[in-house]
Amino acid sequence: MTLDFDDGGGMDDRPRLLLVDDDPDMLTMLARLVKRKCDCLVKSSSSGEEAGELLARWRPEVIITDLKMPGLDGMTLLRKAKEINPGVSVIVMTGYGNVELAVLTLKEGAYDFIEKPFDQERIIHSLKRCLERVRLLKENQRLQQQLGAQAAFPGFHGNSGRMREVFELINKVADTDVTVLIRGESGTGKELAARALHASSGRAAKPFVAVNCPALPAEILESELFGYVRGAFTGAAHDKKGLFLEAQGSTLLLDEIGDLPLSLQTKLLRVLQEKEIMPLGQTKSMAVDVRVLATTNQDLEEKIRRGDFREDLFYRLNVVPLVMPSLQERPEDIPLLAHHFLEKYSAEYGREGLFFSEEARQVMLRRSWPGNVRELQNVIKRAVLLATSEEISPAELGCGGVAREECWGAATLGQLPYNRAKQELVAGFSREYLNRALQRSGGNVTAAAKASGLGRQAFQRLLRRFGRATDQSSNGHDQ
């Protein structure tokens, strides 16, 4: 950091405001007004040339400049300032205001255009909004640096204690052949963790193989996993190499292992124990060198009690348990993740320069995220597509955000037509209510329905209508 030559030097991180006007009375008046009303470092300059030099030396973040000045005029100063620092906010004042000029200045990137003589309130209002923008941009920059600094594993972002534990564990067990059971709610990044384990292992050079267990019926899943030889059954016209053989020397992920049928659980257990497979119709078994990873968002212990999941398989898989924290357990990562998705989708959809308003930040921190990082990701993707200005408001963060009581403060609902607003509010409330009821009952629908004074079927109907809208576990996502 360079040392500034006065006004608190480099240690003062208040925003730097530069006032430029060739009329000394105007400068004095403005400086006095600004110092009284706003908390910022102020420098005044009575010529465009001098101001131009200050741009590089003092790096002002906000500039209030007159347009018509002898020598270097306001428009040239604006262009120069934008060139040196594209993030600078410039308020342009002029006594010769006309619309063409205003349009020209705003298109050059000025933040505001004010006609002289102006109302003091008017300029202070504009300046305060500028300072708020500067603060948000700085916050963005800070998050950007954090994102750049911690590329621990591709796709993963988070600085929270819980995520650090996850990173540490992944590092520790990645380059071993140990089986890892990755647990966590939907949308917490279980598959990403599996990919990270593979990518940091000695098997990384070979392609990672994943199979989604509930996506396929039992018989097909069996032949997918273990393969078959020609003639093993009607229609088996060729030898089929199963996924275990595909993953030879690599990693195989069994996604949603909780849904693996019992018959296949037995076969899988044998593979894990013997490290060999026997394709359907084959009499000789073949040795396989595959590292197995599994994910689940289900309560496997409960499934074991009910006899739906083999206990011995559970212990085989659960050699190292890796639990992905829910977003609720790591709220401090929300700003970082939100920023990451904002960057990602802004770039993807060519909508540069977007940022979250302060209210939007608050809403994201306070609302619940039953769909976890994936839900956050979807909400931000939608906001990027819908944003009508650079600043993303709570309304653009979608119905879940709007329905929260905090949003009434931001008056976003008030901007919608009555029926729409009511719908949004009811949907948000219902989702919140149902999910909280489910959380309290530990996911037991019957108990949650009873506690809510509803029949089980009515509860489920509501759940289908408002419930876990973002719970689509097959969506690709990163976090």
| Binding interface with another protein (CB under 8 A) | 97, 99-100, 102-103, 106-107, 112-113, 115, 350-351, 385-389
Residues 432 and 448 sit within 8 Å (Cβ to Cβ): no
Please say which residue, 14 or 351, places its beta carbon nearer to another protein. Answer: 351
The CA distance from 412 to 419, in Å, is 14
Of 104 and 278, nearer to another protein (C-beta) is: 104
CB 415 → another protein: shortest distance, Å?
11
Please classify residue 74 by burial: count the beta carbons closer than 10 Å to its beta carbon, then call 0-12 exposed, 13-18 middle and 19+ buried.
buried
Please, which residue, 7 or 108, has the CB nearer to another protein?
A: 108
Angle (CA) 415-418-423 rounded to 5° is 105
8 A C-beta contact, residue 395 and residue 389: no
Taking the complex as a whole, the smallest distance from the CB of residue 77 to another protein amounts, in Å, to 20
Least Cβ distance, residue 144 to another protein (angstroms):
23
Identify which of residues 108 and 405 has a Cβ nearer to another protein in the complex.
Answer: 108
Nearer to another protein, 97 or 214 (CB): 97
For another protein, the closer of residues 115 and 332 by Cβ is 115
Rounded-to-integer distance, Cα 398 and Cα 410, Å: 14
Q: How far is CA 156 from CA 47, 148, 164, 170, in A?
A: 50, 12, 11, 12
The letter for the amino acid at 32 is: R
> What's the closest the beta carbon of residue 106 comes to another protein, in angstroms?
5
Q: How far apart are CA 263 and CA 225, in angstroms?
A: 13
| Distance (Å, whole) CA 128 – CA 354 | 19
287 forms bridges with which residues in the sheet? 276
Structure tokens at 170: 């992944």
Q: What is the β-pairing status of strands 355-356 and 240-241?
A: unpaired
Nearer to another protein, 63 or 110 (CB): 110
Q: How far is the CB of 351 from another protein (least distance, A)?
A: 7
CB of 118 to another protein, least distance (A): 12
Phi, psi of 312 (to 5 degrees): -65, -35
- Would you say 259 or 396 has its CB closer to another protein? 396
Q: What is the torsional sign of CA 99, 105, 108, 110?
A: negative
- For the CB of residue 404, give the shortest distance to another protein in the complex, in Å: 22
Residue 182 DSSP SS3:
strand
Closest CA to 424 of 395, 384, 392: 395
Measured distance CA(303)–CA(432) in Å, rounded:
27
Instruction: Please confirm whether the linkage preceding 117 is cis (ω < 30° from 0).
Output: yes
Both structure tokens of 94: 């002029």
Structure tokens at 396: 């653009």
Q: Name the β-bridge partners of 321.
A: 181
Q: How many residues does the chain have?
A: 479
Segment holding 50, helix H or strand E: helix 48-58
Measured from the CB of residue 92, what is the shortest distance to another protein in angstroms?
11
Phi, psi of 294 (to 5 degrees): -140, 150
Which residue has 């409960």 as its token pair? 302
Q: Which is nearer to another protein, 314 or 355 (CB)?
A: 355
Q: CB of 385: closest distance to another protein in angstroms?
A: 7
Q: How far is the CB of 399 from another protein (least distance, A)?
A: 15
* CB nearer another protein, residue 120 or residue 415: 415
- At position 216, the amino acid (one-letter code) is L
Nearest-approach distance from CB 90 to another protein, in angstroms: 14
**Tokens, residue 175:** 């380059």
Q: Which is nearer to another protein, 77 or 387 (CB)?
A: 387
